[in-house]
Amino acid sequence: MAGSLVIVESPAKVKTIKKYLGTGYEVTASNGHVRDLPKSTMGIDVEHDFEPKYITIRGKGELLAKLKKDVKKADKIYLATDPDREGEAISWHLSKALKLDDTDKKVYRISFNEITKNAIKDAIKHPRQLDMNLVDAQQARRVLDRMVGYSISPLLWAKVKRGLSAGRVQSVALRMICDREAQIDAFIPEEYWSLEAELLTEYSKKSVNAKFYGTNTKLAINNKEEMDKILEALKDAKYVVSEINEGERVKKAPIPFTTSTLQQEASKKLNYSTQKTMRLAQQLYEGVDIEGKVRLHLSHICVQTLQELPQRRILQQESLSVRHMAMSMYQRIQSQRTQRQMFRMRMRLSDLQMLHLLLLW
């Protein structure tokens, strides 16, 4: 296999990337992480600068052996794992497990935010070195997860219930919830009243909603007696518009989904479970062939990419429609197969700043 070896995370991406790169490239997958901390022990040398002790994940030995053979046959190796700290760490672990630092072959790190021909080709043209800041960030998170979890979970098993787990995030979140609940329990309800009026003008049949504020400063209404006095005073009052304030307001287009907001919207609008939403999002990211004619994509967009994106105008109604469609498209597209219907869907998607669905012919 003379040529270049491209290693990605997911095997579902292999076929598409291979098609885009063509001859001279062999594409294979690591199936996620290949090394991790051992499950049986803490796996962290606290006395020596918290050094993690990594081992090959059970079941990954055969895969690594195959990858080592592929590395020997290649002239160049491209580590093409996901463009985030986990992906960077996977590339680093691959370089260690495959001993790429000891080889005379050229080893590059490439990343892309969408699985399209242009994105893949551009990544190959602009390779880089491993970002050790990202790798260290992932290792710090992993070490903290392990130290907190392995230290506190046994206490939960002994004091609460076996099988419960504690983590660096959920433990702090639980404390915040408990503190908030204590504030709620300590809260003493106070009575308050508000006054609103629906007013008709002399020149229009359209009513105007008004809220009572006070004379010069805001007046609090604390009980029914105070409310009755105000109502009595206002009974024969004449209402006039004393001041009109005009100005412009900017309504920004919806921001791109994060993982959590995508899950929330899918649950609220489509009643999808978290697992189903992530499964569909992953399939969209990897690319879905529709009868060999259309390829549906969902882009993974990191913060840096988001900051560099040009601002585009998006119609609010259209954007909401597309946000909804993005999650249900995978199911509904099967019943909308004619070229005219696909063209209409493409037009509706064309102004979407992101999620960013690409229908590629």
- Dump pLDDT digits (tens) for 155-173: 999 999 998 888 888 899 9
Burial of 254 (0-12, 13-18, 19+ CB in 10 A): middle
**Where are the alpha helices (H) located in the chain, listed in sequence order?**
14-21, 61-73, 85-97, 117-125, 132-159, 170-186, 224-234, 259-270, 274-286, 303-308, 316-332, 339-349
User: Pairing state of beta strands 207-211 and 35-36?
Assistant: unpaired
Please give the Cα distance from 248 to 262 (Å, whole number). Answer: 31
> What is the average pLDDT value for the chain, to the nearest integer?
81
Reported confidence tier of residue 75, pLDDT bands at 50, 70, 90: very high
Q: What is the mean pLDDT of residues 320-341?
A: 46
Please give the Cα distance from 67 to 5 (Å, whole number). Answer: 9
The tokens for 67 are: 């990858």
What residue has token string 């680093």? 92
pLDDT score of 280: 83
Please give the Cα distance from 240 to 201 (Å, whole number). Answer: 9
DSSP classification of residue 287: -
Reported confidence tier of residue 307, pLDDT bands at 50, 70, 90: very low
Helix (H) / strand (E) containing 78 = strand 76-79
Q: What is the mean pLDDT of residues 252-277?
A: 86
The tokens for 223 are: 């009980």
How many C-beta neighbours within 10 Å does residue 315 have?
A: 11
Q: Is 300 or 309 the better-scoring residue by pLDDT?
A: 300
Please give the Cα distance from 361 to 67 (Å, whole number). Answer: 34
pTM: predicted TM-score of the whole model, two decimal places: 0.65
Domains and CATH numbers, the chain: 4-136 (3.40.50.140), 192-247 (no CATH), 259-360 (no CATH)
Helix (H) / strand (E) containing 289 = strand 288-290
Q: Is 110 or 214 the better-scoring residue by pLDDT?
A: 110
pLDDT score of 255: 78
Residue 313, pLDDT > 80, answer no
**CA-based nearest residue to 337, from 292, 307, 297:** 292
The tokens for 34 are: 């290949």
Q: What is the mean pLDDT of residues 17-41?
A: 94
Question: Residues 270-298: pLDDT tens digits?
Answer: 888 999 888 888 777 766 665 555 455 55
Q: What is the mean pLDDT of residues 239-265?
A: 85
Please give the Cα distance from 59 to 68 (Å, whole number). Answer: 16
Please give the Cα distance from 139 to 137 (Å, whole number). Answer: 5
pLDDT score of 262: 86
* Contact in structure between 360 and 294 (CB atoms under 8 Å): yes
> Comparing 129-133, 160-164, 338-342, 343-347, which segment has the lowest mean pLDDT?
343-347
Residue 356, pLDDT > 60, answer no
Q: What b/e readout covers 184-203, taking b as 16+ CB neighbours within 10 angstroms? A: eeeeeeeeeeeeeeeeeeee
DSSP classification of residue 256: P
pLDDT cut 70: percent of the chain above it: 78
Residue 56, pLDDT > 70, answer yes
The tokens for 153 are: 């979970």
Reported confidence tier of residue 353, pLDDT bands at 50, 70, 90: very low
Residue 253, pLDDT > 90, answer no
Beta-bridged to residue 91, according to DSSP, are none
Please give the Cα distance from 199 to 237 (Å, whole number). Answer: 12
Residue 185, pLDDT > 60, answer yes
The tokens for 50 are: 């918290």
pLDDT score of 282: 77
